Copies of this chain bind each other. A is one copy, B any other.
Amino acid sequence: MEALKERILKDGKCLEGGILKVDSFINHQMDPVLMKRVADEFARRFASAGADKIITIEASGIAPAIMTGYVMGLPVVFAKKKKPVTMEGMLSTEVYSFTKRRTYDICVSGEFVCPGDRLLFIDDFLANGNAAKGIADLARQAGAELAGMGFIIEKEFQHGGKMLRDMGFRVESLAVIESLGNCRITFKQ
Q: Which residues of A contact B (CB under 8 A)?
A: 23-24, 28-33, 35-36, 58-59, 62-63, 66-67, 69-70, 73-78, 80, 108-109, 111-112
Say which residue of B30, B36, B76 sits within 8 Å of A29 (CB atoms): B76
Q: Are A28 and B77 in contact (CB under 8 A)?
A: yes
Give the residues in chain B near A69, CB-CB below 8 Å. Answer: 30, 32
Give the residues in chain B near A74, CB-CB below 8 Å. Answer: 32
For the residues of A in contact with B, the DSSP-based class is mixed
Say which residue of B24, B32, B66, B78 sits within 8 Å of A28 (CB atoms): B78
Give the residue among A23, A30, A36 with the most B Cβ atoms within 10 A: A30
29 A/B residue pairs, CB under 8 Å, sorted by A: A23-B109, A23-B112, A24-B111, A24-B112, A28-B78, A28-B80, A28-B109, A29-B76, A29-B77, A29-B111, A30-B75, A30-B76, A30-B77, A30-B78, A31-B75, A32-B67, A32-B69, A32-B73, A32-B75, A33-B73, A35-B70, A58-B62, A59-B59, A59-B80, A62-B62, A62-B66, A63-B63, A63-B76, A67-B67
Say which residue of B30, B58, B70, B109 sits within 8 Å of A32 (CB atoms): B70
Give the residues in chain B near A111, CB-CB below 8 Å. Answer: 24, 29
Report how far A67 CA is from B58 CA in the complex, Å: 16
Residue of B nearest to A72 (CB): B32
